Chains A and B, each alone.
Chain A
Amino acid sequence: MTMQIADTVSLASPEAKARAHKAAARNNLRTEPRVVRIAIITLAIAFLFVFVVLPLVLVFAQAFSKGVLAYFAALAEPEALAAIKLTLVVAAISVSLNLVFGLVAAWAIAKFEFQARPS
């Protein structure tokens, strides 16, 4: 195994060696010690788990707590359907308006000079 590596290294052209060396250096310069990496990932996952995943799981657990049939029965009620429909329709309209006017506003703020515009 060690022989093989030694062979490939010695066989590789100086440019390839330089490239490999550069890549390793680049990795070293742009990352943290293993302990720090693991700590950051653990912290991020733990936070998201407690504050986002658990509430979400709880919502699903509650929704299906009386069984899948009860869930769909509740969903099929005319009031529930009407509410969902209204939400979707209103969201679709306001999102498209926001998209258009948001783009226009962003354009105006970024491209034009006028009074009361943040410099």
Chain B
Amino acid sequence: MGLTLTWLSVIILIPLAALFLRSTELSFDQFWAILSSRRTLNALRVSFGLAFAAACVNLVMGSIIVWALVRYRFPGRRIFDAIVDVPFALPTAVAGVALTSLFAEKGWLGAPLAALGIKVAFTPLGIFVAMIFIGIPFVVRTVQPVLQDIDAEIEEAAGSLGASRWQTIVRVILPSLAPALLTGLALAFARAVGEYGSVIFIAGNLPNISEIAPLLIVIRLSEFRYADATAIAVVMLVVSFVIIFAVNRLQRWAQNRIPVH
């Protein structure tokens, strides 16, 4: 246990503490001025808003993918199961370039979308796509083992006691999956908020429109405005922490609602 705390301290807590310490060098007025600037607010809004939207899409699509992979047999199932991990392994910069050329106006998917009047690359929509890409394995890999472990007997009991299939899924299976779904949502969201490599290629990076907060931090660092960078980082950290903590609570609540297990 001492080992755990030491290791966690060295790897996670000390860097975070250094970040907070650095931000205390700012007076409150300075801190506030940095945060309330239009560019910072917009960057935070873009990052958190799109990350949340992407995490929600991943939650829904991830559940559908998990259901198909676990419950059904179809040609290529194993290949698709393996392919889910690609966003983990592909270097984010490579993913960013690939998604950009895919969704650029002359790309394989960008061209048909452009014909419909939808621009993806170099718009906030592009950021959204990149965040979906990097988040999907988190939902699938957290929910998959839980769905695999659900006892067939529970479902059969529900079915034989007269529940319709839909009722069984919504009232029996879904509550058992809820903690895993929430964990997947939180992981996908956290990853999307902090994502840098794949997003900056596809975003277009226009200040106030498609500039994400991590990019703004890097820009401030390259301008030697360390205080600004630290202030934005601290806010991101605090907001992320609050959200993850809330999800954690929600997860606990969902877990306690399951009578069995």
Contact = CB atoms under 8 A, between A and B. Distances in A.
Interface of A: 25-26, 28-32, 37, 40-41, 43-45, 47-48, 50-56, 58-59, 62, 101, 104-105, 107-109, 112, 114, 118
A62 B90 CA distance: 15
A107 B80 CA distance: 33
Interface residues of B, number: 43
B132 A51 contact: yes
Interface stretch (B18-26, B66-74, B176-184): B66-74
B65 A48 contact: yes
A114 B109 CA distance: 53
Given A40-B64, A40-B67, A105-B7, A48 B133 contact: no
Contact of B83 (A48, A101, A108): A48
Query: Which secondary structure characterizes the binding site on chain A?
Result: helix
Label chain B's interface by main secondary structure: helix
A8 to B, nearest CB: 26
B4 interface: yes
Interface of B: 1, 3-5, 7-8, 61, 64-65, 67-69, 71-72, 74, 76, 80, 83-84, 86-87, 90, 94-95, 98-99, 101-102, 108-109, 129, 132-133, 136, 152, 155-156, 159-160, 165, 168, 248, 252
Contacts of B252: 118
A29 B7 CA distance: 48
A37 B132 CA distance: 24
Nearest to B152: A30
Contacts of A107: 4
